[in-house]
Amino acid sequence: MKIRFNSLTSELRLKRKAVHELCRQFSRSPSKGNLKRIKVLFQSCSDDVFFEAGLHFDYGEHISIGARTFINSNCTLLDAPRESGKKITIGEDCLFGPNVQILAVSHDMQPTPRLAKHNYADDIIIGNNVWLGGGVIILAGVIIADNSVVGAGSVVTKNIEADSFYAGNPASKIRDL
């Protein structure tokens, strides 16, 4: 179930500004010190998770990343603040291609309500040993089950079965693995 929140409060704007600065520092200099400052913001992040430069997220406090996961350059994790209760959960041994977008936040579809600028957040759960090809986009509310592969450039709007290969826009099942 999606939860509504207001991202334009002064508190959340200041929090995002500080986190975005840490992301910029890591992008300019992906040193161990800058990486440590990034990882401490997450709800949980294994020591052996590897990030290429170009990581972007808004809050971090409800992002969990499992052991031995590799996140390639220019990854965006559009997450919600702690108050929303919604999480981005990434399992162990995952591989993210460059330019992957995990988008747990959305807006109203109808024009008039959209003028209020409300944000809606929902969980995204990515299982263990999942490979997301370059440029994959995952939308709010999606669960990607263990051992699956999503082809480059795909847009995932619905849950993905375990041990399966999905591709396309919207992503659809190509075959079992």
Q: Which residues pair with 124 in a beta bridge?
A: 88
Mean pLDDT of all residues in 20-39: 93
Contact status, residue 55 vs residue 27, Cβ threshold 8 Å? yes
CA 85 vs. chain centroid, Å, equals 15
Digit-coded pLDDT (tens) for 11-20: 999 999 999 9
Give me the sign of the Cα torsion angle 23, 38, 76, 27.
Answer: positive
pLDDT at 84: 85
H or E, element range at 4: strand 3-5
- Tell me if residue 107 is catalytic: yes
Confidence band of 83 (pLDDT split at 50, 70, 90): confident
In angstroms, the CA 155 to CA 170 distance is: 5
Mean pLDDT of all residues in 5-32: 94
Contact status, residue 152 vs residue 97, Cβ threshold 8 Å? yes
pTM of the model: 0.94
Sorted by where each starts, the structural domains of the chain and their CATH numbers stand as: 3-176 (2.160.10.10)
Confidence band of 94 (pLDDT split at 50, 70, 90): very high
Catalytic residue among 20, 56, 62, 107: 107
Tokens 């099942």 belong to residue: 173
Number of alpha carbons in the 13 Å side-chain half-sphere of residue 22: 20
Alpha helices (H) along 62-165: 111-114
pLDDT at 85: 86
